[in-house]
Amino acid sequence: MSNNGPSQEIGAPIPSNTPHAVSVTLPTWEATVGYEEGEDWVVNKMSSGYPRFFIHSVIQDLANNIEAKYGREGERCMVFPSYSVAKRCREFVKAKSDKSNLSVRILQLSTAPPEDELEKSSVIESNIGVIFFPSSEFPLAKNYWQHSGEGISSRMGEYVLKEIFHKEKKPSTYKGSHMKQELQAQRIQQRSPSLSKSLQSPSFSSNEETEKEFNTFIEQKYGRVLDLKFAAQAKVALRRRICGKIDKSHSQEDEMQKARRGKHLSETDVYLYPSGMAAIFNAHHALLQVAETKNKSVCFGFPYVDTLNILKKFGPGVHFFGFGDDESLEDMESQLKSGEIKITALFCECPSNPLLKTPNLKKIRELADEYNFAVVIDETVGNFVNIHVLPYADIVASSLTKVFSGDSNVMAGSLILNPESKMYHTLKKYFDDEYEDLFWAEDALYLERNSRDFAERSAKINETALATVDLLQQNPLISKVYYPSISDTKHYYDAIKTPNGGYGGLISFIFKEPEDAICFFNAVNLHKGPSLGTNFTLACPYAILAHYQELDEIAKWDIDRNLIRISIGLESESDLLGVLNKSLKQAAAQH
């Protein structure tokens, strides 16, 4: 990180010098539009990107090597972490292609297991499934990669490339430069208390003491992360952390009810996935497999883009109740009652992204019990330290990429089965039989370490977010602020808020004049790019970034094309408010 603040260089990874970064810099409104329109001045500078949308350079390198060695003329390939996933991609491509008799084949490749006990620290047996298809079908394969979230991770790609194609070289020849870069960006923000002031503020100042402490930190902490033999234990720790945090967030009344209901949530009810989207995708896939009749599902409330894409493109389709409000729920209930619709499942976010609305989960649960459909709740934005949604869900999905990790350097997701659900035994049998652990060992090790102070970070983010909302609400240039504590649906959020929980770190807002939004965004000295829940504040023109091709359509669901979304990080409150105030003043100076 430069001493001048967050990088404003198009295409640079966020965090800087992080080879497996999850976000990427799109520093201006114009650059975001240019990215969406595929303009060379932006696209050609993209050295990084959100992993489901941008195939990491190391994965591209792996695919190129595989194509050169195993491909046929006119073919391209895509690499997945197992044969089963590659098979699902093949089915999707063949079903969606306009070509009949399309030839799509799958190759399985494996890396060698460790030869002795010593090698277990750096060698792990792994398998990949490679799908080959005519190059004309690449966009369809990429669609599957994006929507399903089941693509190979960049760390796994790096390992497989080294093992299969560069084994004769010393590991450091290929991997060393990446690891050296990653050292520069490892958890220096909050792991060491004396680092917090200099490295959490937007000014990112540095000094000799900081440098010395950083080097000591790397020596003491970094080496343990890469020991592959601890990966299985890291996954157990993660599952326990996830179910333990949920149990500890219960109120006394919840605990009494839980005791009457019997079984507590167990780590065996938590399943890890390579991304949050993969958790949602597999929840949808599982429910279609166990359903007696495969009806459409409901998407309740305007969701993150790929949740709706999954429900539209896989299976029988979707009923979309985009407002996600009480009126929508009444409409859905009347259609269920009349028999106009029958549904397999209802998917919702809690709260929703980007409008931060909270659905009436109590009423949804009652309807689910009455009309026999499953409820899948994505609590990524709220996070399970702040909210307790499990009693209302059959399945809870979460992107662990976000605040659970915080470091923006690893993708992950979780799927939780509610042991009190009447569908539990059916779903448990399905997952016990069909679940495939595709979460790469190194990613698990990074996530385990990143998430150790998840609850403490969440609490700080909640506090700073409230102050930020106050600032934005008081500014005369801004017409609307979206946040759970000031939403019309606050009472629904409060009904699921944990005793020590807050309202999360995601805030959206709209300026009265579009030119003020553009001026503010271009001027603000923050990280700017996709994702949320990072340990640093991250801003984006959300509608432009996520829905550029459908801006008129999303306006029907009250999503303004000039909406700005910010995800609050760990900077000091005063520093962050100062940065925002400065940019708001620059926008005001235009008038």
Task: Look at residue 530 and give its three-state secondary structure.
Answer: coil
pLDDT of residue 590: 87
Q: Please name every residue paired with 318 in a beta bridge, in sequence order, or none if there are none.
A: 297
Q: Exposed, middle or buried, 38 (CB in 10 Å: 0-12/13-18/19+)?
A: exposed
499 found inside a domain: yes
**What residue type is 85 in one-letter code?**
V
| Residue 256 is assigned to a structural domain of this protein | no
Select from 131, 166, 201 the last residue of a domain: 166
312 and 372 share one domain: yes
Whole-number pLDDT of residue 5: 79
386 and 284 housed in the same domain:
yes
Looking at the structure, tell me whether residues 554 and 582 fall in a common domain: yes
Q: Determine the pLDDT at residue 448.
A: 96
pLDDT of residue 505: 98
Predicted local distance difference test score (pLDDT) of residue 100: 86
pLDDT of residue 216: 34
Q: Pick from 429, 451, 473: which residue ends a domain?
A: 451
Residue 478 maps to which CATH number?
3.90.1150.10
438, 475: one domain: no
| Chain segment 364-378, per-residue pLDDT in tens | 999 999 999 999 999
- Whole-model pTM? 0.88
The confidence score (pLDDT) of residue 39 equals 96
Question: What does the pLDDT average to over 171-192?
Answer: 38
Question: Is pLDDT at 503 greater than 90 in this prediction?
Answer: yes
Asked if residue 202 belongs to a domain, the reply is no
pLDDT higher than threshold 90 for residue 424: yes
Model confidence pLDDT, tens digit, residues 117-156:
999 999 999 999 999 999 999 999 999 999 999 999 999 9
Check residue 254 and give its pLDDT.
46
Greatest CA separation found in the chain? 71
Q: Is residue 435 part of a domain?
A: yes
Encode pLDDT of 183-211 as tens digits.
334 433 333 333 233 233 333 333 444 43
- The pLDDT of residue 178 is 43
Burial class of residue 491, CB neighbours in 10 A (0-12, 13-18, 19+): exposed
- Domain containing 483 equals 12-18+454-589
Give dist(CA 74, CA 291) in Å, integer.
40
Q: Do 436 and 481 lie in a common domain? A: no
| 378 is a domain residue | yes
Does position 261 have pLDDT exceeding 70, yes or no?
A: no
Q: Domain total for the chain? A: 3
Query: Which CATH number characterizes residue 356's domain?
Result: 3.40.640.10
Tens digits of residue pLDDT in 68-120: 999 999 999 999 999 999 999 999 999 999 998 899 999 999 999 999 999 99
pLDDT at 182 over 80: no
Q: Are residues 357 and 489 in the same domain?
A: no
The model's pLDDT over 262-289, given as tens digits with 9 standing for 90+, comes to: 347 999 999 999 999 999 999 999 999 9
Cβ density class 554-590: b for 16+ within 10 Å, e for less? beeeebbbbbbbbbbbbbebebbbbbbeebbeebeee
**What is the radius of gyration, based on Cα positions, of the chain?**
23
CA dist 104 and 134 (Å) reads: 8
Torsion of CA 84, 89, 94, 99, to 10 degrees: -140
The predicted-structure confidence for 444-482, as pLDDT tens digits, reads as follows 999 999 999 999 999 999 999 999 999 999 999 999 999
Please say if the pLDDT value at position 237 is more than 90.
yes
Identify the domain boundary among 141, 166, 191.
166
Query: In this predicted model, what pLDDT tens digit does every residue of 2-54 receive, in sequence order?
Result: 345 798 999 999 999 899 999 999 999 999 999 999 999 999 999 888 989 88
**pLDDT confidence band for 244 (50 / 70 / 90):** confident
Rama region for 232: left / alpha / beta (φ>0; ψ in -120 to 50; rest):
alpha
From first CA to last CA, the distance across the chain in angstroms is: 34
In the prediction, which pLDDT does 167 show? 79
* 292 and 440 housed in the same domain: yes
At residue 246, the pLDDT reads: 53
> What six digits make up the tokens of 120?
């277990």
23 domain-assigned:
no
Q: What is the CATH number of the domain that holds 64?
A: 3.30.70
Looking up tokens 């399943």 gives: 271
Per-residue pLDDT band for 584 (boundaries 50, 70, 90) equals very high
In a domain, 230, yes or no: no
407 and 514 inside one domain:
no
- Are residues 134 and 189 in contact, defined by beta-carbon separation less than 8 angstroms? no
Residues 495 and 518 occupy one common structural domain: yes
Are 316 and 387 within one domain? yes
Q: Do 422 and 538 reside in the same domain of the chain?
A: no
* Claim to verify: residue 428 and residue 467 sit in the same structural domain: no
